[in-house]
Chain A
Amino acid sequence: MTLAAARIDTGDTAWLLAATALVLLMTPGLALFYGGMVRAKSVLNMLMMSFVSIALVTVVWLVAGYSLAFGDDAFAGLVGGLGQSGMSGLGPGSVHGSVPTLLFAAFQLTFAIVTAALISGAVADRAKFSAWLVFVPVWTLLVYVPVSHWVWGPGGWIVDRLGALDFAGGLPVEITSGASGLALCLVLGPRLGFKRDAMRPHNLPMVILGAGLLWFGWFGFNAGSALGANGLAAAAFLNTLAAGCTGLLGWLVVEQRRDGHPTTLGAASGAVAGLVAITPSCGTVSLLGALVVGLAAGVVCSYAVSWKFRLNYDDSLDVVGVHLVGGVIGTLLIGLFAERAMTGGAEGLFYGGGLVPLGRQLLAVVAVAVYAFGVTYGLGRLLDRVMGFRASEEQEHTGLDLTVHAETAYDHGVLGHGAPVSHSVPAGSAQKVKAQP
């Protein structure tokens, strides 16, 4: 991001307003993507884990998160200061580059929201909702906020000091959510019946709808990260489209050869894997690079999702197999495919940049993955000890929708389900109704 202009540009601002709304839509899209993949008895709980993240992360971001991530560096490129807590000192006239600072803060906020929501896929069907409500804001402050400072904050150690590249958030979004998902599913343990019962997606059209909304929002995510209505945004936009397509096709080819059928879940998963991988690299690689990045993610991730059965950890909806693995692929391939025409300087191995850029990318990946995994594992264990992180066996058997939210998503029966046992009509009104003819 460049801060040279210091004057609001209406074109840039208009595009970033739209991009911010697009990225926010990714979270309800993710809710549908995940919701369709769980069993019918827990779909509402799955939707809620994403939806409530919008509210939780927004509050914590405005109170302290933004300042800690994007405030002036407070310590060695690791964390920002508290000077802008509660957005203090920021008003309609504040400028970040060529856009209002408040808009930049909102744009970054939508990234923090979807990242927290992504983790829920690893603990689907068995996490305690109350523990999730505590986990999300604490995790955002302890993991997302520092890592986004490392990558995008002024003086952050990964981009400003180490010189690694990450255009739209492969490190803070994909790798933190993937590594944290792995940590949480280890804390919670496998679902009841893991590897024994068929845990089939209950609504694949909903999965495709969710994947479509994610893809739509992803254009705001990646092209918006140019922070301007310009050629770089256009290039990132096209790279995003290209990688989603080759990811989808790559996954389908693997399925056809391995299982004999190209599936809808595979198409949706492949597109998402390609989009994950192009997130860090969409502003640094050429179109040819984007096609390769997406294809690599589609092929590798379709194999990676089976790790959970071999290694015996229950990552319910494959947050590790798609987001961690896809994020690692996209971030590392920058070291091979980065092009001067896109980056304005840095080049990858294939364009004469040598091995150094690849080494920087690798160091950044390892540091972020280890940090996110370690802190999340510790936080998860602490919450489990203090309040319990796993739903009771009865809740899990019956389904979290009915036991936690007192609702069910579908009513298939032709038989009635009884009269209301209580309602919120004021006392005495029943009498009035009775008195009417």
Chain B
Amino acid sequence: MKLITAIVKPYRLDAVKTALQELGVQGLTVTEASGYGRQRGHTEVYRGAEYRVDLVPKARIEVVVEDAVADEVIDAIVSAAQTGKIGDGKVWAVPVETVVRVRTGERGPDAL
């Protein structure tokens, strides 16, 4: 199993969700996040004073899937989140040792 984490622009969240549902991914977790990549945030102006805001609002999506579909899921997220403009985000995957469904106690791929 793999944990796939994606940091995307918040307004692309719906598109990513739809793409994952079409792939048959059962569930996901979304967190409001903030951070920056190479573009380093944006500028705001208050009474003429400019403030450099480094941390930009992002959506963090986490989903655990079976190894066999991991690449397909990553591709789906990337194509749904991509706008081609700076700040589109990152996606990464890490191996997962165990998953337990709290309600039933099932373990492993059955718990997904």
Instruction: Give A contacts to B, CB under 8 Å.
Output: 198, 200-201, 255, 258-259, 261, 263, 265-266, 269, 302-303, 305-306, 309, 318, 321
Contact = CB atoms under 8 A, between A and B. Distances in A.
Contacts of B45: 255, 259, 261, 263
Contacts of B97: none
B36 to A, nearest CB: 14
A341 B52 CA distance: 52
A263 B46 contact: yes
A306 B46 contact: no
Interface of B: 44-53
Contacts of A305: 47-49
A200 B46 contact: yes
Nearest to A263: B45
Contact of B48 (A198, A201, A306): A306
Contact of A306 (B49, B52, B53): B49
Contact of B51 (A198, A261, A302, A303): A198
Contact of A318 (B44, B47, B51): B47
A259 B45 CA distance: 7
Contacts of A201: 46
Nearest to B46: A265
A258 B46 contact: no
Contacts, number: 33
Given A200-B51, A255-B48, A259-B48, 5 more contacts: A198-B53, A258-B48, A263-B46, A303-B48, A305-B48
A199 to B, nearest CB: 8
A265 B44 CA distance: 12
26 contacts: A198-B44, A198-B51, A198-B52, A200-B44, A200-B46, A201-B46, A255-B45, A255-B48, A258-B48, A259-B45, A259-B48, A259-B50, A261-B45, A263-B45, A263-B46, A265-B46, A265-B47, A266-B47, A302-B47, A302-B48, A305-B47, A305-B48, A305-B49, A306-B48, A306-B49, A321-B47
A259 B46 CA distance: 10
B54 to A, nearest CB: 9
Looking at chain B's contact residues, is the secondary structure mostly helix, strand, loop, or mixed? strand
Contacts of B50: 259
A410 B50 CA distance: 26
A255 B48 CA distance: 7
A321 B46 CA distance: 14
A368 B47 CA distance: 27
Contacts of A318: 47
A302 B49 CA distance: 11
Contacts of B44: 198, 200
A198 B61 CA distance: 29
Sort A-B residue pairs by CB-CB distance and give the 4 closest, nearest first. Answer: A198-B51, A259-B45, A305-B47, A306-B48
Q: Could you say which of B47, B50, B51, B52 has the most chain A C-beta atoms within 10 Å of its C-beta?
A: B47
Contacts of A200: 44, 46, 51
A235 to B, nearest CB: 32
B3 to A, nearest CB: 23
Nearest to B50: A259
Nearest to A309: B49
A305 to B, nearest CB: 5
A309 B47 CA distance: 12
A259 B53 CA distance: 16
Contacts of A259: 45, 48, 50
A243 B46 CA distance: 22
Q: Could you say which of B48, B49, B50, B52 has the most chain A C-beta atoms within 10 Å of its C-beta?
A: B48
A303 B52 CA distance: 20
A224 B70 CA distance: 73
Nearest to B44: A200
Q: Could you say which of A259, A261, A309 has the most chain B C-beta atoms within 10 Å of its C-beta?
A: A259
Contacts of A263: 45-46
A437 to B, nearest CB: 33
